[in-house]
Amino acid sequence: MTKMKLLGLLATLAVAQAASAIWASAAPASTALELKAEGKPLTAGASVLLVAGYSLGGCYWEEQEMRVTVNRSNVDKLVRTGETGQLEPCSGGVRSLEITSTRKMIVKLAPMRIHLPGTCVYEFREFSGTFAQREWGPEIAGTATGKLDRAESTRSASCAKTDPTSFDVALSGMETAPVP
């Protein structure tokens, strides 16, 4: 009787092990992404130039030096190293950027405030989208909606609660590729 229980237990374990192997092979593989410049992988601390364009008010572009903090991961990360290349009616700008192995670029803002002529100030916190690898680098483009910053704006009926802007964000001179 003990031998029968032992054989039954071993058979159950064998079936469970086979099922877990089948499950593992059917699960999608997690792919890490590698950021490169001139064909060479970027190391942590490497500098990259971010170029962003906007369509709202006089805030129509921004250039920021970014530093790579994570590479060869499912989510590669870059952070801003300084505040340069912004125009006067804008403040804040890009704080950090994430690029995922699912080809999504998430641009986190510090927040960015765009001052329109007159009394309206709109605040943007994040842009995101599926990126395309272009000849100049990975790029996203789309539309985001900013919320009226009541503390910065003069109370006026002419200020709508929200205002959209078109955006175009790219990392200059960078390539993305799955980790081999």
pLDDT at position 72 is 95
Residues of the chain with pLDDT under 50: 1-28
pLDDT at position 21 is 44
Domain boundaries, the chain: 33-178
Backbone angles phi, psi at 21, to 5 degrees: -65, -40
179: which residues sit within 8 A by CB, 6+ positions away? 31, 32, 33, 34, 72
pLDDT at position 134 is 93
pLDDT at position 35 is 94
In 3-state terms, what secondary structure has residue 30? coil
3-state secondary structure 96-137: EEEEECCCEEEEEEEEEEEECCCCCEEEEEEEEEECEECCCC
Length in residues, the chain: 180
pLDDT at position 88 is 67
CA angle at 109 for the pair 105 and 115, rounded to the nearest 5°: 130
Alpha-carbon distance of 41 to 70, in angstroms, equals: 12
pLDDT at position 161 is 92
For 103-154, how does the pLDDT look when each residue is reduced to its tens digit (9 = 90+)?
999 999 888 888 887 788 999 999 899 999 999 899 999 999 999 998 888 8
- pTM comes to 0.77
